[in-house]
Each structure stands twice: as structure tokens, then as C-alpha cells.
């Protein structure tokens, strides 16, 4: 720029090269005048012309030859003009082969050499650039003049008409002593006086070029008086050879602009005040932005600029920036540049029209590096508009810029988070040290609104950036996962774990889209969330950005990898930063309802490790298939089987170090839940309780519920730390209905136990209510599932031996273990009594039974009979055995068919009260023990029996026997029972005997019983004595003395031999004898009745003191063959019948006086006649006999025996003869 000022100064001082040209014309006139004076002196003419040229141009001029023609025209040959002091190629300025000058004769005559016309023939102008100094040769000439003495050269008052013919311009460079010609151009032109202007001139110069070359044309005007000039250039092109006309600094400026295109007009002028100025217009051209920071190339340029001294004013610069095939940016630039140097100050304003940026734009390479870098981070495409102010305040200073990019409809993605956005709008403000994103709004391809604000300070390697990104309803889907870094993808992917979703869909629990068939709810992990992303990068080279993402989870669908329970977020935040992930105030709802609240943190650690500390502070969720499925497959089998329904509440902690397996602890609470084990329909309702769930297993505590009015409590655990998993459950039920349905809760692993228990239910048809304990475990050495069932019944009903047992007020336990049932002091009440049993009942492959029992019953009722073997029951029926009994030490053993040992054994001691039986005669009131041992041998119809009777008392036909003992054992025949050691006391006497019983449908019995010296009064009238005797004995047992009754004198001895077939009373037969001694029989009902009937003798104290009788038993009748009741002075004899069992009497008695006078045969005849006509007939019963005188008794008896219908009765002798 300083060189231009030097050139401008030279033009002001000397008028430029045109002034030099005028001085040359004057020089020619001087030469012409000299010729006039010295026509014969050419040397002097040459010196005058040389002097003229040197003064006019300031250069050194040489002329080989000067001459003047006859018509006073001066001709100069081989004129050479050079820079003073430069003899090299740089010094050459111009060489002219011939110069023709038309001088003014007047000027010659006056001595002021003036030329009216000058013609230059074949002039060569050298425009040389000295690369060593960076100056043009004419600039060197001007510098030499400035360094002179400063003499002011006056400009000519007029200049001649100048014409140029066959001119040539040589453009070259000089460097290091070597000159190189770059271009040669031929020109022509002329200078004429401007009409109407005394001091004005018009000139025109044109380059002579071929027809295919566009040659520039210079035409203009100058005014010598005003010292102004104006040049209009036409046909100018920004080509290298034409630029060589210009100085280096100007040429460099043009080259930096890279101007190409048409120049319709270019005006260059000079005025003393303004100095050099220019007005340049360019159309359809090309321009490069002349700053390294903006290396863009512009096309379709429409430019107009004004140059004034060192200032370049761009009043209009419009055009298009094309980047690649698709991107075209229309722009406009205005502003000023204060110098032509590359480092000159400037101030420009840039505005663009709306423009579309393609996917691979090239225009970005015309932007500052900082902008390029930020652009490469975001790669925006779409519709933009931009404006900027670019300036340099002082020469050599930094370029400052400040602008705005309006995003109108833009799409793009962040390089480090490649999530595509579209329809973005907003502003990007940029300047050298700051880029600001202001309210940049966009949408994700799948929805979601994004708002970005932020700044980037000092763009470059050490840039400091702060970005805030707000996202509304951003879908969490595969696209956003693809945008994440792998480590972030893994971290976030844990909360939207698709493999778990695929499994839920496969199981039919969810549908991944509404297009899928089925009724399951639509659930796909992800959903839409709001996010606030803070990105901060410290202003340190190499620093990594710090990213904090706050995700508002409301509306999102979460499926956590380590607990895949599908939930929908109701609120809360997930905050992800460089230190890890924070879970804050998260609230979720399950697909079936309920709520979950979560807080926690996942903290990053070196070596790809992380601490997971997640707290489920509250959850209240339904126990359904989603909850069961959330437990790992290897651990949820038992939960599936439990079919738990209802709401589950509690809290939990997931705490472990990644990448280790998850560790968690959940405290679960149950309330109002329902259990349907194995989908059995066996519902346990209103459940409450607690459970602890960990990665090792689950522990259930005090799980309580109800079933059919009963209460159920479950405690147990499942241990998943071993394979196969071990488990143990203890199920307690209170007041539970006993039903077969309870077996449906047992798992398939317990099929063997289930089958056995099922057999029990099928066999016994259990019912009632009970407390139940079920222990299920596989913690044994065989790791097989073992099921132990304990039943504590309150009421129990079951079938056994074709009888329905109805038991109440029960106590004790029934335990069902593998293949066996254990009865532990199982007691209760039945209709007539109560019982207690303990023992074992095996089932399955081997069926054995050992039962210890206690029974107390008011009778041998159906319940008692059902407990006894069938043969024992038959024996009881055969002998009509009954009564109240109590068993304290009973034992029943039943063995399986697969053994050779006895089929069953019964052993007990029976304490009977009020016992009764029919053993040929009725036995009642049995008080005492019966020790029983029964063995049922295989292959035998009847068991082996051993009975030990130890009676305190009993009654035989109302006669009290006490005490009494007897042994009854089986004989050689399996159906034979032999009675031994029969002994007892009866009214002061004894009773002894033996016998045998043959069992079976055709069985019978045979007894031989004898009574010795029993008190006759008590035997004949037992009811008068029995109560007193019993009271005495019971009083003594209780420490109370009560006197024994006083027996009257007299003893009775008797014998009875009797037999009978079972079930056939008519087969009963037997015989007996009776003897009474020293008795007072008149006090007995029978004796008193006889005495009252007989009128022969009044009763006396000595009457009836002895009696003898023989009788035969035949069916229900006792035939008395001989009955004699005697005293010292009186005797009655007779016979008759006694009906059993009412003891009905039908006796005929005859009186006799043993003390009467013996009159020989006549006395016998008199007695016979008396007996035939008069007798005592006794009727009634033994306890209430009725006696009366009956006439003709002998005749009637004879008649009945001859003509009556009665079968002849068996006689004593008949029985005796048969040996029975």
C-alpha cells in the first residue's frame, strides 16, 4: 500500500507518465527549434531531445540518432529509457525504434520546445517485477525520484496528440540476476484534446489480440489544469497476463480474491483531494474470500466495489456458494477493507438467503476452523439462513467475527451421541471465541421435542463448552440405543432389557405391539421420557466432556435386567453422569396394578466395575404371573406352583459389584393374598405374613391365611445356592376341613407320598376338622422330596371295617410320612365313649400296622366292633357280650401279606363295668378285668385266643359272684376255646368249673359248673343281699366301713352241665343237681308259698330246713325231675318245669308227714289216693311264686302224658346215659 502512495506522490509531483510524455513532446519541439538553428548540427538535436526526455520522465534516456526532416518533423531512432543506476534487466523501461515528432515552430523559435503530435513506431514497454525487492521497475523509478533533491517539475501546459503504432508490452520478472519474460502483448492507442474543454484530453488504448481473445480497452480523460484523470476499462478479464500491469501488492490482492468473470465497467481515476480511486463492477464471476480463516470460493458473483486510496468499499457483493452437487447458498456481502495487504484491517457484513445444506456439504470448508469443528460434531443438514460481521480492527490483528445461523428446518445428529433430529429451528450465534446455541428446537425421528441451549468458549482443542439439552417425550427405542456409547448402552439397557421382554411375550404375559393377537397387555420396554442433559467440557486440552443426563421417567416402561418385573413409571428421575447412575424418587406401577418406589445408585469403578446399590423403599404389587416370572427361571418353579394371588408389599435392597452376579435382599409382606398351590383350586385366602428373598433363596415367616373357615400358617425356605435347589416348608393349618382336596397341593415330586395319602383317603374316606401340619422338604441325603403330614383333628370321621366313625373332642396327632402314617396319642370321643391310639400304619408296597390304643366305652357298640377283627366280632355276637369297658394298654398289630408272620395280633386288658354275656345262662353286671391276647395266623379261619378274666364281680341269673377268675385259651382245633381255672366266690360259697367253646356257624359251647356251700338265702333271694354286699366292698375300697349283710343259716350246693349250638336255643341241653342244708326255707318265696298252700300243718321255725333237686335243661325249659323240700316233721316232694329266661314256674308238689304212724301198706295206699286227688300247684316266677291246692292233679298229669300234645321231655337219666 505504501508503494501505491509513492506512486501517487510521483503523479502529483510530475503528473505521471503522461506528464513525462508531454515533456517528451516539448523536448521534441526543442529539438525541432534547435534544428532550425542548427540544421546542420544533429548531435545537438539529439542532446536536446535526450535532456527533454530525462527531465520529463526522471529516467535516463539515450537516443542513437536524431534528425529533422525537410517538413520540420523530428525523427528519433533507437530511443532507450532506463531507471537511473540500474543496468540490469530491471532498469529497462521502454525502447522505441522510431519516434516522429511534429514540433511547434513557435515553441522552437521561442525556445520552449513543444510538440503538437507524436507518433511512436514499434515502442516496447518493459513492465518488470524485481522479486528480490518486491517492486515494479516503474516503482523503482519513482522511489529514485523521491530520494532526489526534491526539485518540483512543472507539468506541461498542453500535450500533443499521441499515437502509437505496433506497440508491445513485455511483462517479466527478475530474480537472482536472472530475467524471465512472462508475457508479451501488442497495443495501440491515441490521445486527443477533449472538445469543449480547453484543458481536457481524451485517450484510448486497446490491446491488439486475436479474434478468440477478449482484449481490454482503456479509455478515459484527464485534465491538466485540475490534475484529474478518469479511466474506463472495458473487456477486462481477471487473467494473469493482464494483472501483470499492476503492482505486486495490487496484483497479490487480486490474486487473493481469485476474481474471475466479466467486468462490465471498471473506472479508475485520480483527484488531488481523493487521490486514486476506482469503481469496479463484476458480473457472473468468481471470488475467493481473501482470508485464511474463510477459504471459501464464491460463484455467480455480482460485485460492485469502490476503491479510494487505501480503502476498498464493497457496496454490493452477491453470489452463490456451491458445496457439492446439492448445496447452494445465496449470499450478500457489504463492507470496507482498509488496505490491500492480506493483513489489512477490514469490516464486512454477510447475509444469506435461505439455503439447503446437503448431506455432504463442501461449503463448510470455507468456514473458520472452529466452526468447521463444531459443524463436524453436529453435521446439520437442511434449511438455514445466516448473517455475520467479520472484521479486523488493526493491521496484522486477529480476525473477529460475530454472526448468527438461523436453523429453519434442520436435521442432524451429534457425533458423540448419534441420535438423529429433524425439523430443528433456532439460532446459533458465533464469534471467534464463543459459539452460542440459543433455543434450538427439534424433533426425534420417532417423536420427542428437543430444546438445546449452550455455549462453546474458545473453540479449539482447549474449548470450554456448556450445553443444556431438554427433551420432551423422547421414545426410548433402538434408535436411541444405537446413538449411545457401548458402556452407556449396556447401563441403560439394563432398565429396558429386551431379552426379558421377549421371554414374557413368549410366555403370553405381554404383547410387544397392538398388532399381535391375544388379550395380554401391550408392553414394550422403553416408552417416552423427558430428559435434561447437561454437557460440560473443561477448557483444558484433551479433557473429556462431563455429561449429566436427568431422565424424568414418568410414562416410561421399565424392565430391569436383574429383576425383570414389567412396570410403568409414574414419576421419578434416573440421573446418569460420569460417576454412575442415580435413581431418585422413582415410582412405578405394575401391569396388574400396585406401586413400587425405588431409590439408589450405580457407581462406576475402575476396570469396568461398578457398585450397584438400589433400594426398593416401598412396593405393593399383586402376586401374579409377572412377579413369578421376574424371579430367575432356576428359582421360580416353586413360586409358580404356589399360585399366589393378592397384593405383596415390603421393601428391598439390590447391592453388589458388577460384573458379579446380583445380590439382593427383599423383605416381603403379605396381606389379603390368596394361595392356590399347583392351581389345585384349594384356595387359602386372606393371607398375611412375611418373607425374606435373597439371591440364595427365599424364607417364608408366619404366612397366615384361611381355608373353609380354618386358619393356615406357612413357614419355610427355598435355597437356590445349591443345585438342585433345596427347600423345606412347614404348613400349619388350624380348624381345617379334612378333605381329599388337600392332597392336590402336593407337588409332582411328592407323587409317591401323594399316592399313599390318596390311598388312605380312598380307604378311610376321612372327614372332619383338624389342625394340619405339612412338612415338605428335599434336604435329605437323597435330595428327594419328602412330605410329612401331621394331623391334629378336632373332629374326625372315617370308614373302617364297614363302619363310619364319628369322633369328636379329639386330641393328639396323625403324622403322614413317606409310606406311613403315625398316630401319636390320637384321642377323641365317639357316641358311647372315648379313645386314644398311638402307632404306625404303613401303606404303599408294604402295609403294616402297629397301634397302641386306649378305649373307654359305655357299650361294645358299632364303633368298638369296627375296631376288632371280624372273628372276634362274631364271637361277641355269639355270646351276646356287651357292657361298659375301658382299655388302657391295648395293642393291635396288622402285618402285610408279604410276610409269613401272623396277620394280626391284639393284646389288651379290658376293664369292664356292667358287662353281660350269654354263656348258657345270662351273665350281667360284670365288673373286672379281661386280659385279651388274640393272634390271627395266616391260613386259619379263627385266631388263637388267650383270655384271662379277673372279675371283681358279676351276676349269673342275678346271683352275685365275686370275685371271679377264669382262663380261656384256644385248643388244638383252631375253633376251640378251652375254659380253665374257673373259680369264684358266691354268697359265702365257691363256684368252680370248666368248659369249651367251638367257634363257627355250627359251633357250640359246653360248661361244667359247680357251686359249693353258698348261702341258700342269698342264692334264692339274691336281690335282698346284692346291694349290701357291693356297698360293703366299695366302701372298703374307699376307706368306708359298711357292714356285710347277715346271712341266715343254710347252704346250697349245685352243679350244672350244659351245652348249646350257637344261634339255636332249642339245642340247649344240660343237667344239674341242687342240695340245700340247714336252711330256713320257709322264709323263701317258694317255701312260704308251699306252706301257705298246704293246710295240713302250720309253719314252724323248724319247717323246710333242707331240699334236694335234680333238673334237666332242654332249650328254654328246665325240667325238675325231683324236688324235695323237707324238715324234721314235714316234707314236700314234686316235679315240674321252669321256663327260661323269665324263670316261670310250673311245679306240682305233694305233702308228706315223715313222722306219721306206719300202718303198713294201707298207709301207702292212703298217700297215693291223697296225692291223686290233692296237690299243691306252684306258678308265677321264682321271685314271685304263686301256690294253690290243685285237685285231681295225678289224673290230669296222667291224661296229659297219654293224650297231650307235648313232646316227651328229656330225663336226667337220658343225659346221664349219653355221657353229657
pLDDT at site 310: 73
Q: How far apart are CA 1051 and CA 1055, in angstroms?
A: 14
* CA-to-CA dists, residue 709 to 683, 738, 1065, angstroms: 11, 12, 56
Q: What is the pLDDT of residue 31?
A: 46
Closest CA to 93 of 44, 57, 49, 121: 57
C-alpha cell at 769: 376338622
Answer yes or no: are the C-beta atoms of 975 and 999 closer than 8 Å.
yes
Q: What is the pLDDT of residue 585?
A: 92
pLDDT given for residue 510 in this prediction: 92
Mean pLDDT of 691-715: 83
Tell me whether residue 254 is exposed, middle or buried, using C-beta atoms within 10 angstroms of its C-beta: 0 to 12, 13 to 18, 19 or more.
middle
DSSP symbols for 541-608: TTPPPEEEEEEE-TTEEEEETTEEEEEEEEEEEEEEETTEEEEEEEEEEETTEEEEEEEEEEEEETTT
pLDDT at 445: 81
Q: Are 989 and 978 in contact (CB under 8 A)?
A: no
Span 417-437, average pLDDT: 84
pLDDT at 438: 92
pLDDT (tens digit per residue) in 964-983: 898 989 888 888 889 888 89
In this prediction, residues 692-715 reach a mean pLDDT of: 83
Q: Whole-number mean pLDDT of the chain?
A: 78
Which of 401, 324, 335 shows the shortest CA–CA distance to 370? Answer: 401
Q: Count how many residues are written for the chain.
A: 1220
Is it the case that residue 522 has pLDDT exceeding 90?
Answer: yes
Q: Identify the residue with better confidence: 755 or 1145.
A: 1145
- pLDDT of 930 > 60? The answer is yes
Q: How confident is the model at residue 40 (pLDDT cuts 50, 70, 90)?
A: very low
Q: How confident is the model at residue 145 (pLDDT cuts 50, 70, 90)?
A: low
Q: Is the pLDDT of residue 826 over 80?
A: yes
How much is the pLDDT for 334?
92
* Per-residue pLDDT band at 1218 (split at 50, 70, 90): very low
Tell me which residue of 431, 422, 424, 421 sits closest to 455, measured CA to CA: 431
1072's enclosing H/E stretch is strand 1064-1077
pTM for the full predicted model:
0.56
The string of pLDDT tens digits covering residues 1191-1212 is 555 545 554 554 454 444 555 5
Model confidence at 523, in pLDDT bands (50, 70, 90)? very high
Mean predicted confidence (pLDDT) in 843-854: 83
* Residues 703, 706, 712, 718, CA torsion sign: negative
What is the pLDDT, as a whole number, of residue 572? 92
Query: What number is the average pLDDT over the span 175-194?
Result: 81
pLDDT digits (tens, 9 = 90+) for 323-342: 655 667 788 989 998 887 77
Query: What is the per-residue pLDDT for 362?
Result: 58
Relative to beta strand 820-830, strand 217-223 is: unpaired
- Among the listed residues 1131, 1145, 1135, 1133, the one whose alpha carbon sits nearest the alpha carbon of residue 1186: 1145
Four-point Cα dihedral 762, 768, 773, 775, nearest 10: 10
3-state SS assignment for residue 96: strand
% of the chain with per-residue pLDDT over 70: 79
Question: What is the per-residue pLDDT for 1196?
Answer: 54
Mean pLDDT of 33-57: 63
Q: What is the pLDDT of residues 1028-1079, one digit of tens each?
A: 888 887 777 777 877 777 777 788 888 889 888 877 888 889 999 988 887 6
DSSP code for 69:
-
Lowest mean pLDDT segment, chosen from 662-666, 1033-1037, 1113-1117, 1159-1163? 1159-1163
Residue found by looking up cell 398289630 in the block: 893
In 833-917, alpha helices (H) = 862-867, 870-878
pLDDT for residue 502: 92
Amino acid at each position: 500500500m505504501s508503494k501505491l502512495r509513492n506512486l501517487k506522490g510521483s503523479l502529483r509531483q510530475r503528473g505521471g507518465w503522461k506528464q513525462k510524455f508531454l515533456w517528451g513532446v516539448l523536448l521534441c519541439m526543442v529539438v525541432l527549434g534547435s534544428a532550425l538553428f542548427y540544421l546542420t548540427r544533429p548531435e545537438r538535436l539529439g542532446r536536446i531531445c535526450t535532456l527533454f526526455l530525462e527531465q520529463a520522465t526522471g529516467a535516463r534516456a539515450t537516443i542513437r540518432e536524431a534528425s529533422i526532416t525537410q517538413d520540420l518533423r523530428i525523427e528519433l531512432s533507437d530511443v532507450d529509457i532506463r531507471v537511473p543506476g540500474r543496468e540490469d534487466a530491471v532498469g529497462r523501461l521502454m525502447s522505441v525504434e522510431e519516434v516522429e515528432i511534429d514540433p511547434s515552430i513557435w515553441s522552437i523559435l521561442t525556445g520552449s520546445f513543444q510538440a503538437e503530435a507524436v507518433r511512436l513506431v514499434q515502442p516496447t514497454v518493459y513492465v518488470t517485477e524485481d522479486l528480490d525487492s518486491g517492486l515494479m521497475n516503474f516503482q523503482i523509478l519513482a522511489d529514485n525520484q523521491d530520494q532526489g533533491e526534491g526539485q518540483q517539475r512543472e507539468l506541461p501546459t498542453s500535450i500533443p496528440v499521441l499515437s502509437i503504432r505496433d506497440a508491445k508490452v513485455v511483462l517479466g520478472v527478475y530474480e537472482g540476476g536472472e530475467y524471465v519474460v512472462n508475457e508479451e502483448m501488442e497495443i495501440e492507442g491515441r490521445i486527443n484534446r477533449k472538445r469543449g474543454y480547453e484543458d481536457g484530453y481524451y485517450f484510448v488504448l486497446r490491446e491488439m489480440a486475436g479474434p478468440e481473445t477478449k482484449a481490454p480497452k482503456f479509455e478515459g480523460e484527464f485534465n491538466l489544469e485540475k490534475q484529474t484523470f478518469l479511466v474506463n476499462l472495458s473487456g477486462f478479464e481477471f487473467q494473469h497476463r493482464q494483472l501483470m500491469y499492476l503492482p505486486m501488492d495490487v496484483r497479490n490482492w487480486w490474486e487473493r480474491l481469485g476474481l474471475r468473470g466479466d467486468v462490465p465497467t471498471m473506472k479508475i481515476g485520480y483527484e488531488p483531494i481523493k487521490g486514486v480511486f476506482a469503481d469496479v463492477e463484476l458480473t457472473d464471476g468468481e471470488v475467493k474470500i481473501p482470508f485464511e480463516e474463510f477459504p471459501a470460493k464464491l460463484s455467480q458473483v455480482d460485485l460492485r466495489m469502490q476503491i479510494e486510496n487505501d480503502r476498498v468499499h464493497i457496496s454490493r457483493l452477491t453470489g452463490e456458494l456451491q458445496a457439492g452437487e446439492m448445496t447452494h447458498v445465496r449470499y450478500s456481502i457489504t463492507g470496507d477493507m482498509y488496505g490491500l495487504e492480506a493483513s489489512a484491517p477490514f469490516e464486512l457484513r454477510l447475509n444469506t438467503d435461505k439455503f439447503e445444506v446437503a448431506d455432504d456439504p463442501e461449503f463448510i470448508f470455507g468456514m473458520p476452523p472452529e466452526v468447521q469443528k463444531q459443524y463436524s460434531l453436529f453435521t446439520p443438514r437442511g434449511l438455514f439462513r445466516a448473517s455475520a460481521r467479520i472484521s479486523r480492527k488493526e493491521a496484522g490483528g486477529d480476525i473477529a467475527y460475530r454472526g448468527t445461523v438461523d436453523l429453519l428446518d434442520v436435521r442432524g445428529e451429534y457425533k458423540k451421541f448419534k441420535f438423529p433430529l429433524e425439523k430443528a429451528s433456532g439460532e446459533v450465534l458465533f464469534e471467534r471465541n464463543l459459539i452460542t446455541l440459543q433455543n434450538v428446537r427439534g424433533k426425534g425421528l420417532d417423536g420427542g421435542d428437543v430444546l438445546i441451549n449452550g455455549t462453546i468458549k474458545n473453540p479449539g482443542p482447549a474449548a470450554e463448552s456448556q450445553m443444556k439439552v431438554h427433551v420432551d417425550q423422547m421414545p426410548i427405542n433402538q434408535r436411541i440405543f444405537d446413538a449411545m456409547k457401548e458402556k452407556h448402552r449396556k447401563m441403560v439397557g439394563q432398565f429396558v432389557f429386551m431379552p426379558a421382554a421377549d421371554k414374557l411375550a413368549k410366555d403370553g404375559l405381554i404383547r410387544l405391539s397392538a398388532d399381535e393377537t391375544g388379550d395380554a397387555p401391550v408392553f414394550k420396554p422403553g416408552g417416552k421420557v423427558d430428559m435434561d442433559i447437561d454437557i460440560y467440557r473443561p477448557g483444558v486440552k484433551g479433557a473429556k466432556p462431563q455429561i449429566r443426563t436427568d431422565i424424568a421417567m414418568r410414562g416410561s416402561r421399565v424392565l430391569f435386567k436383574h429383576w425383570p418385573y414389567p412396570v410403568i413409571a409414574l414419576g421419578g428421575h434416573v440421573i446418569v453422569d460420569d460417576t454412575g447412575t442415580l435413581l431418585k424418587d422413582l415410582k412405578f406401577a405394575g401391569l396388574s396394578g400396585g406401586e413400587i418406589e425405588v431409590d439408589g445408585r450405580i457407581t462406576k469403578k475402575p476396570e469396568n466395575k461398578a457398585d450397584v446399590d438400589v433400594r426398593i423403599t416401598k412396593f405393593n404389587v399383586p402376586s401374579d404371573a409377572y412377579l413369578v416370572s421376574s424371579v430367575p427361571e432356576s428359582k421360580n418353579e416353586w413360586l409358580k406352583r404356589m399360585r399366589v394371588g393378592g397384593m405383596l408389599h415390603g421393601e428391598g435392597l439390590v447391592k453388589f459389584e458388577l460384573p458379579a452376579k446380583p445380590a439382593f435382599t427383599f423383605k416381603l409382606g403379605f396381606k389379603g393374598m390368596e394361595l392356590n398351590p399347583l392351581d389345585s383350586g384349594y384356595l387359602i385366602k386372606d393371607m398375611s405374613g412375611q418373607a425374606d428373598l435373597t439371591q440364595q433363596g427365599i424364607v417364608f415367616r408366619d404366612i397366615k391365611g384361611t381355608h373353609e373357615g380354618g386358619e393356615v400358617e406357612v413357614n419355610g425356605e427355598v435355597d437356590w445356592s445349591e443345585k438342585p435347589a433345596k427347600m423345606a416348608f412347614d404348613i400349619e393349618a388350624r380348624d381345617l376341613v379334612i378333605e381329599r382336596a388337600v392332597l392336590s397341593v402336593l407337588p409332582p415330586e411328592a407323587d409317591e407320598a401323594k399316592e399313599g395319602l390318596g390311598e388312605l383317603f380312598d380307604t378311610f374316606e376321612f372327614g372332619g376338622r383338624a389342625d394340619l401340619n405339612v412338612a415338605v422338604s428335599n434336604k435329605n441325603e437323597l435330595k428327594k422330596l419328602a412330605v410329612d403330614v401331621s394331623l391334629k383333628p378336632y373332629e374326625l370321621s372315617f370308614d373302617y371295617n364297614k363302619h363310619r366313625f364319628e369322633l369328636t373332642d379329639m386330641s393328639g396327632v396323625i403324622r403322614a410320612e413317606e409310606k406311613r402314617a403315625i398316630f401319636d396319642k390320637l384321642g377323641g370321643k365317639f357316641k358311647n365313649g372315648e379313645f386314644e391310639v398311638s402307632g404306625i400304619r404303613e401303606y404303599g408296597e408294604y402295609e403294616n400296622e402297629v397301634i397302641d390304643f386306649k378305649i373307654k366305652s359305655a357299650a361294645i357298640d358299632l364303633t368298638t366292633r369296627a375296631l376288632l377283627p371280624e372273628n372276634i366280632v362274631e364271637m361277641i355276637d355269639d355270646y351276646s357280650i356287651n357292657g361298659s369297658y375301658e382299655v388302657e394298654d391295648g395293642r393291635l398289630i396288622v402285618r402285610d401279606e408279604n410276610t409269613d408272620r401272623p396277620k394280626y395280633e391284639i393284646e389288651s386288658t379290658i376293664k369292664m363295668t356292667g358287662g353281660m354275656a350269654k354263656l348258657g345262662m345270662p351273665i350281667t353286671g360284670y365288673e373286672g378285668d379281661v386280659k385279651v391276647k388274640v393272634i390271627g395266623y395266616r391260613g386259619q379261619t379263627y385266631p388263637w385266643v388267650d383270655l384271662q378274666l379277673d372279675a371283681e364281680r358279676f351276676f349269673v341269673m342275678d346271683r352275685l359272684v365275686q370275685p371271679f377268675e377264669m382262663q380261656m385259651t384256644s385248643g388244638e382245633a383252631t375253633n376251640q376255646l378251652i375254659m380253665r381255672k374257673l373259680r369264684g366266690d358266691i354268697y359265702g360259697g365257691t363256684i368252680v368249673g370248666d368248659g369249651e367253646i367251638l367257634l363257627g356257624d355250627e359251633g357250640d359251647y359246653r360248661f361244667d359248673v359247680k357251686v359249693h356251700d353258698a348261702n341258700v338265702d342269698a342264692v334264692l333271694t339274691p336281690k335282698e343281699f346284692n346291694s349290701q354286699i357291693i356297698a360293703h366292698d366299695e366302701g372298703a375300697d374307699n376307706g368306708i366301713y359298711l357292714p356285710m349283710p347277715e346271712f341266715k343259716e343254710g347252704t346250697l350246693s349245685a352243679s350244672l352241665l350244659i351245652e348249646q349250638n350257637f344261634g339255636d336255643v332249642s339245642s340247649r341241653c344240660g343237667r344239674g343237681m341242687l342240695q340245700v342244708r340247714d336252711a330256713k326255707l320257709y322264709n323263701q318265696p317258694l317255701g312260704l308259698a308251699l306252706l301257705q298252700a298246704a293246710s295240713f300243718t302250720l309253719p314252724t321255725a323248724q319247717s323246710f330246713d333242707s331240699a334236694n333237686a335234680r333238673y334237666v335243661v332242654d332249650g328254654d325249659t328246665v325240667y325238675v325231675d325231683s324236688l324235695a323240700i323237707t324238715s324234721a316233721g314235714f316234707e314236700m316232694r314234686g316235679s315240674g318245669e321252669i321256663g327260661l329266661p323269665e324263670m316261670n314256674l310250673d311245679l306240682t308238689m305233694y305233702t308228706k308227714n315223715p313222722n306219721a304212724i306206719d300202718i303198713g301198706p294201707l298207709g301207702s295206699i292212703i298217700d297215693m289216693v291223697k296225692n291223686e286227688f290233692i296237690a299243691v300247684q306252684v306258678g308265677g316266677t321264682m321271685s314271685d311264686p304263686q301256690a294253690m291246692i290243685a285237685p285231681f292233679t295225678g289224673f290230669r298229669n296222667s291224661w296229659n302224658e297219654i293224650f297231650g300234645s307235648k313232646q316227651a321231655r328229656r330225663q336226667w337219666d337220658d343225659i346221664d346215659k349219653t355221657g353229657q
